[in-house]
Structure 1
Amino acid sequence: MKKFIFLAVAGLFSAIALQAQTRTAEAGFRSENDSFLAQGSDRYYTNGFFLYYNKALDTAGIKNKNIANKVFGLELGQKIYNAQSGRLPSVDYVDRPIAGYLYLGASLNMLYKDESNIKLTGRLGVVGPAAGGYPIQKFIHKTFGFYELNTWQYQIRNDVEINLSAEANKLLARASWIDVTLSGYANLGNGFTGAGAGPMLRLGNFNQLFQSVSTQSTASYYGDTRLLHKHELFFYYKPMANVVAYDATIQGSLFKDHPVAGTQEITLDKKPFIFSNQFGVSYASNRIVLDLGVFVQTRDTKQMVKSTHQWGSIGLLYRFN
């Protein structure tokens, strides 16, 4: 009897311990800003803020036994774009359209045992004054004692954007501390249409692509029993070639003439090809997911004075049951 009670108690504590490692949900934010790089710049893509909620789904009843993880996500985000500065001597210095973009999105991330995945996302948003770019940037500048803005009267006019996107990754090769993945994406909609592809290099302690920071899949229904490492800590480098067919933050509404009559709206000419570099460090523990990144991108309008622009990124998620 005592042996039975001991085994029952041990089994109960084992189940509790296993459950404690199972983090089926996570929530957090990402903040992006060119000032994070301490270069004193305030131009082009200057600020972004995003809220995330991810929930892992049970894959036991799915007929496709190759699926290793499935994650449903919600996101709310805002991006703010300046010209070469938020304060200019005259309109002649506007070399990138001023715009705000606000959106709500939902995604489904399907991750497979062969370490490939496809993430499908739908976004409903708005570009223009309704996106709140000006009041947010004005609040930031006033709070931190920055200069007074004088360019938002030229911003892109209001337009509703409906966009679909697909992101895919496929492991190409791996050794114990290094691997290479092929990454790509495609966007389709009246706001953003284009595609991109490139390799992703990881160095350090990383997990399989079906349960990793790299594929936004740290939420899992099955805990950490399949992980290569209970804690991820790795450096990454991700260059990408991008084709841009349409960008509403540069060209304005797809269905309107520009500039919009009765406004001072300024739209310019997009660059059809953009090359970007992303590098940084990612960490994931039982409770915390942290990502620190730097982005460097070639000009996205033909009129841009600077040949590149760059920004820093800080992402933090809290994992829970």
Structure 2
Amino acid sequence: MRKLLLPLLLFSVVAISALAQNHSSEFGAQSDNDSYLGGGSDRYYTDGLFLFYRHALDVKTSATLKNKVLGFEVGQKIFNPYGGNIVSVLQVDRPFAGYLYAGANLNFLHTDESNLKVGVQVGIIGPASGAKEAQTWVHKNFGFYTPSGWEYQIRNNLQLNLSADYNKLLGRGDFFIENTKADATLATYANLGTGFAGVGIGALLRAGKVNQLFNSASTQSTTIADKNFTPANKHEFFVYLKPMLNVVAYDATIQGGLFQGTDPTGVEIRKTPERIIASSMVGLTYTTNRWVFDAAATFRSKDIDQLAYRRHQWGSVTALYRFN
């Protein structure tokens, strides 16, 4: 009997490892910065830092729902005019602004490769967001210039924002390279809140080793509670393009607090946003049994008609670790 213990133990470890190939939780971070694209600028949307935690929930009682993921995140976004060293109010073509928030979302992913993700964010814009301090710290510790002009930034205002994203696979077929696929997905979103309101529609185009949208990095659903599920590819590795048309109803980082009157001191600079904005994201995604890596570049048309530059752009890098 004792001679069977070691083989049984080894078999159990292998079996548990095999079942654990699909991990139910992940934690990671994303960094956005316009300097990642080599421009050396601090222009418009200049920096963002985000932390994520996601956990897959049980969906065994549903016939149409394949995966359900609960997510939490905290983040900070920093916005500048065409430069971070402004010496005159006349140079403020886009308001200085920061946005600090915490949020939660629930992602419903269906067997037909459609998904609906709904979320809520509570945060603050203005000096309390810490944007000035964050940018100053980075510049000081990495040998850049000292930022100036933050006295003109958007004032403090509490934020409550709701969001919904809906995606639906349109088609998938063989790609030119063996054992790879290409697919197209409808991508839409809607935002409603005191800080951000608007809608967008576009497409997600992928090519490479792609998984179904209910268990893919493309839909933030690499975690899954079903231990018996086998993904189409053990590791995803694909390039993607995501063009979008965005309609902006309100943007507090440009217009200030929704119910806030004009600054009595006259220091705060507000602007009127462009209502129709085009954007495009191109990127590369790679996943392993435990890790998710993504690198992307986003190109966006003018947020405001008076901007000195016709568009702005930034890079994003993301790393997530999956576990049980």
- Scaled by the length of structure 1, the TM-score of the pair is 0.95
- In 2, Cα distance between equivalents of 1:56 and 1:255: 38
What is the identity, as a one-letter code, of the residue corresponding to 2:16? Answer: I
- In 1, Cα distance between equivalents of 2:221 and 2:84: 37
Contact (CA 8 Å) 2:87, 2:149: kept in 1 or not?
A: no
| Corresponding position of 2:206 | 202
Q: Does 1:147 align with 2:145?
A: yes
| Corresponding position of 1:15 | 15
| Corresponding position of 2:44 | 44
Deviation of 1:219 (Å)? 0.7
Structure 1 spans left out of the alignment, 5+ residues: none
Q: 2:243 aligns with which of 239, 245, 249?
A: 239
Q: Higher mean Cα deviation, 14-23 or 241-250?
A: 14-23
Q: How does 1:270-281 map to 2 (within 5 A)?
A: 270-281=273-284
- In 2, Cα distance between equivalents of 1:129 and 1:119: 30
| Corresponding position of 2:287 | 284
Contact (CA 8 Å) 2:51, 2:73: kept in 1 or not?
A: yes
- In 1, Cα distance between equivalents of 2:164 and 2:109: 13
Identity of aligned pairs, percent?
49
Q: Does 1:312 align with 2:310?
A: no
Q: Residue 250 of structure 1 aligns to a residue in which SS?
A: helix
| Corresponding position of 1:216 | 220
Q: How many residues align?
A: 318
CA 1:301 to 1:6, structure 2 compared with 1: closer, same or farther past 3 Å?
same
- In 1, Cα distance between equivalents of 2:5 and 2:267: 79
| Corresponding position of 1:264 | 267
| Corresponding position of 2:255 | 251
| Corresponding position of 2:178 | none
| Corresponding position of 2:25 | 25
Contact (CA 8 Å) 1:21, 1:224: kept in 2 or not?
A: no
Deviation of 1:15 (Å)? 2.9
Structure 2 spans left out of the alignment, 5+ residues: 175-180
- In 1, Cα distance between equivalents of 2:108 and 2:8: 37
| Corresponding position of 2:302 | 299
Q: Residue 175 of structure 1 aligns to a residue in which SS?
A: strand
Contact (CA 8 Å) 1:224, 1:230: kept in 2 or not?
A: no
Partner deviation per Cα, 1:232-277 (whole Å, 9 max, x = no partner): 000000000000000000000111122x112510000100010000
Q: What stretches of structure 1 move > 2 A for 4+ residues in a row?
A: 1-15, 17-20, 223-226
CA 1:82 to 1:118, structure 2 compared with 1: closer, same or farther past 3 Å?
same
CA 1:208 to 1:170, structure 2 compared with 1: closer, same or farther past 3 Å?
same
CA-based RMSD = 1.8
